[in-house]
Amino acid sequence: MRIPITLGSTTFSSKEQAKKKIREILNKPINTTLEGTDLEIMTHLLQRHPHYERKKGVGINKIFISNSPPGTPGYNHCFYILRNDNTTTDFSYLECLEPKDHKQNVILAMRKEISQEIMNFQKQHGGEHIDHVIPFSVLADCFLIAANKNYQDIELIGGEDNTTGYRLKDSEMAERWQKFHSIIAVLRPLSAQENSSRQNDKWKEEIINAMKKGEEKVEGSKHTSEA
């Protein structure tokens, strides 16, 4: 069911219609300062951001369009705020329209932790998109099972001005996750049209069984050495 969304004096018939208009605004040339209806729409959208008070700071002087912060994948235009104290920060319109829960932010942080591995693979093998044959969410689930953690246990850092996303607060866990990913993940280059078709639950079951077998082998080797 379509749910209307109102931003200032403009009402959109659905969230998708709002996204379409916002993308049109975002597609304006770099260094464009928003005015009129565009500014009104984005000002009211920004108020929906989960960290609005931090983004607003001492007050908003203007909203403009510039290049995305370094390390941002994909489209290189981004919305920025110039505050009244002349500091700047970026903000995501998607974060305003569709705020993420903690689990989603943890998964995004885990993606960021292995981004260098993904970039290195893409340089070697090409492809418009680097796909995880074993779905990424399954790898994340299995890593946390092995670490005896839940998503809610994972602390994040990030959200500073002109930075993208979050990272894992525990640097040792981040290193363990990077090693786990480098060993277990199977990557492949895909075109924009191609998609993975295997079911997540099946992959998860297979990995967990493999992990259990690995633990049994370790226990068996311990008993052998003790004999």
Sketch out the chain's domains with CATH numbers: 5-97 (3.10.450.40), 102-226 (no CATH)
Task: Name 124's Cβ contacts closer than 8 Å, sequence gap at least 6.
Answer: none
Residue 56, amino acid: K
Burial of 172 (0-12, 13-18, 19+ CB in 10 A): exposed
For residue 201, the model assigns a pLDDT of: 57
The tens-digit pLDDT sequence of the chain (227 residues) is 788 999 999 999 999 999 999 999 999 999 999 999 999 999 999 999 988 998 999 999 999 999 887 656 555 789 999 999 999 999 989 989 988 889 999 999 999 999 999 999 999 998 888 999 999 999 999 999 999 999 999 999 876 777 667 899 999 999 999 999 999 999 999 876 664 444 555 666 666 676 666 555 444 444 444 44
For residue 224, the model assigns a pLDDT of: 42
For residue 166, the model assigns a pLDDT of: 84
For residue 76, the model assigns a pLDDT of: 79
For residue 161, the model assigns a pLDDT of: 77
End-to-end Cα separation, the chain, in angstroms: 66
Report the distance separating Cα 31 and Cα 67, nearest Å: 9
Report the distance separating Cα 119 and Cα 40, nearest Å: 38
For residue 63, the model assigns a pLDDT of: 98
For residue 165, the model assigns a pLDDT of: 72
For residue 158, the model assigns a pLDDT of: 77
Pairing of strands 10-12, 5-7: antiparallel
pTM attached to this predicted model: 0.64
For residue 2, the model assigns a pLDDT of: 82
For residue 74, the model assigns a pLDDT of: 55
Report the distance separating Cα 44 and Cα 219, nearest Å: 59
For residue 196, the model assigns a pLDDT of: 42
